[in-house]
Structure 1
Amino acid sequence: METLGYQGRDIEVVSINPEQYLVASCDSCGAIGLKSFDIVQVAWSITGRLTARVALLEILAVGATPKVMTVAISNEPYPTGEELLKGVKEELISAGLALPLAISTEKNMVTQETALGISVVGIVMKHQLRLGTSQPGDDVFCLGLPKVGPEASNPEDPEIIQIKHLNKLLGISEIHDMIPVGSRGIRTEAEQLALNSHSRLLFYPSCSLNMDKSAGPSTCLIISSPRPVTNLVFSDLKQLPIHKIGTLV
């Protein structure tokens, strides 16, 4: 079975027939919740919602349609598991998705730290796969701000990327690649975008973003486009910070 091997991304792309790819994404989250050993104390529903968002963003960003989600909860079914699932389901509703869920919880051991893993599997037509579609001359922009830990405790924060934003971007033909930024930071993800498109990124020296800060649960998104993003902005993005970070050569 042919795999495209996108090392460095939290996805894998596999050819399943002459017309389609299977795309799988995953995200893990530990020590964020309401247990005694959790480092960041937030409601479990928020942990569930933002972890689900990361895995969904990865699938959607490459043009795939999510088909199924797995939720691996390394904690007891109640109250932790129930509240984590509540957040997962809230994110699915917010994204306008109704996915079958395969769920597992820890029923044998007492745990003192929240631990959650989410995977999403989707399908995309081969000619619609959005990976390595950037071209020399494209500008690269960051939408949203990198936030991590307590900074990223509000799923509705107007300064972070949400699935509704990405869905709108998918409908704009002038936008090429889209990469959700995670713990590796903007610089690493932008360099990966350039590598996948066989080009080099010249960073914009006036960009005020912290290029190496973790973006936690994918609070920002890198996109490439031959046109200024400010000319493509729609009403849902008016409050979302947009920064030019460089140009592909």
Structure 2
Amino acid sequence: MSASIAEKTYQDLAELFGGAHSDDRQDTISQRLRKVRDLTLVRVAGPNYLVLACDSDGGIGPKPQDTVYTTGYWLGRVAARVPLMEVLASGATPLILVDALGVEMEPTGKEIIRGIRVEAAEAGLVDPAAITGSTEDNVPTVATGIGVTVIGVVQESHLRPGTSRVGDAIVAVGKPKSAPDDDVTEDDPEIADLPAVRSLLNLPYVRDILPVGSKGIAYEAGQMAQCCGLDVALVDECSLDIKKSAGPSTCVLASLPESMLEELAATVNKPVSLIGRLLPHV
């Protein structure tokens, strides 16, 4: 895309959000882009940002050469869950979901898409036009591959990354689980899901929220601290494996005043574990 086309695209996007401010027109495309953890943010007009998140799965599904077997429906659920969680946790509202399926439409792709649509509805994406994608209908496939991208929108004042404060506790909601070591199932009460994230978003004392991925709890706790210029002191008595992959974000981190831990545990219908405390950076 040439610079002029990119600029025109930006101006068109800005019009959707009330028009570009005069300061915006002086910025280059690269000046409007920023990375926040695994998210890409694009400033489109004044304080408004597009938020992009993506995730992929390979070798998991119903095909004969998949390493881990699961149904297409459940794969669609968890594949969509991760980027939807990441966008919601940032404070943004999901707008569009794009799926790239390395399988044929019938029958595998159809079942994956069914799962994606159910999961997207949990995040508020109920309009069929909000979900698009593509399948592989030219080359026969013997293993499953999928990528999902979610685009959301947020005002800068509502962005949650970097809102943690000195003295806050970091907790894990849910437990880290991942194939092939664990059987991650739809009815597992110990794993985080979109309703759990939305519940956290509605609690006024919860600050930053961060889904945990393949790098584990300890890594993501460090990212949460780094995002607000702080350090994290991990607790010694945590019963969770803080280096274990959380696969499809089976747990999420949240920062909050330590005095609110008991109330949080009584509010969310998931296991809550104290991970660490945020300290001034040294």
2:263 maps to what in 1? 231
The question of whether the paired residues in 2 share the 8 Å contact of 1:29 and 1:115 is answered with yes
CA distance in 2, matches of 1:101, 1:122: 13
Distance 2:234 2:212 in 1: 16
Q: How far does the alpha carbon of each residue in 1:52-83 deviate from its partner, in whole angstroms, 9 at most, with x for none?
A: 01110000001000001001001111111111
TM-score (structure 2 length as normaliser)? 0.84
RCO higher in structure (CA 8 A, sep ≥6): 1
State yes or no: 1:217 paired with 2:245.
no
Change (3 A) 1:152 1:221: farther
Look up the match of 2:5: none
Q: 1:76 aligns with which of 97, 100, 104?
A: 104
Q: Please give the residue correspondences for 1:1-16 in structure 2 after superposition, counting only pairs within 5 Å.
A: 1=29, 2-6=32-36, 9-16=37-44
CA deviation vs aligned residue, 1:170-221 (integer Å, no higher than 9, x gap) = 1112111100001010010000001101000001111111010000000000
Letter of the 2:199 partner, please give it.
K
- Equivalent residue letter for 2:146: L
Residues 10-48 of structure 1, C-alpha deviation per residue, up to 9 Å, x if partnerless?
A: 321111111201100101000001111101011111111
> SS in structure 1 opposite 2:34?
coil
What is residue 244 of structure 1 aligned with on the other side?
Answer: 274
Q: Which residue of 2 aligns with 1:148?
A: 178
Cα offset, 1:168, TM superposition? 1.2
Q: Which runs of 5+ in 2 are unaligned?
A: 1-28
Give the Cα–Cα distance (whole angstroms) in 2 for the partners of residues 20 and 63 of structure 1.
12
SS at the partner of 1:246?
strand
**2-structure distance, mates of 1:228, 1:186:** 21
The 1:38/1:242 distance shift into structure 2, 3 A limit, reads: same
Distance in 2 separating the partners of 1:122 and 1:155: 25
Structure 2 residue 197 is matched with structure 1 residue 169: no
- Partner SS for 1:4: strand
Within 1, Cα distance between the matches of 2:250 and 2:48? Answer: 29
2:84 to 49, 56, 63: 56
What whole-Å deviation, never above 9, does each CA across 1:77-98 have from its counterpart, x for those lacking one? 1111111101111212334431
Partners of 1:84 and 1:56 lie apart in 2 by 16
Q: Partners in 2 of 1:244 and 1:33 — Cα distance?
A: 34
Q: Which structure features the higher share of helix residues?
A: 2
Greater Cα shift, 99-108 or 208-217: 99-108
Q: Percent identity?
A: 39
Counterpart in the other structure of 2:189: 158
Give the TM-score taking structure 1 as reference length: 0.94
Contact map agreement 1:191 1:201 (CA 8 A) in 2: yes
Answer yes or no: is 1:188 the counterpart of 2:237.
Answer: no
Equivalent residue pairs, number: 245
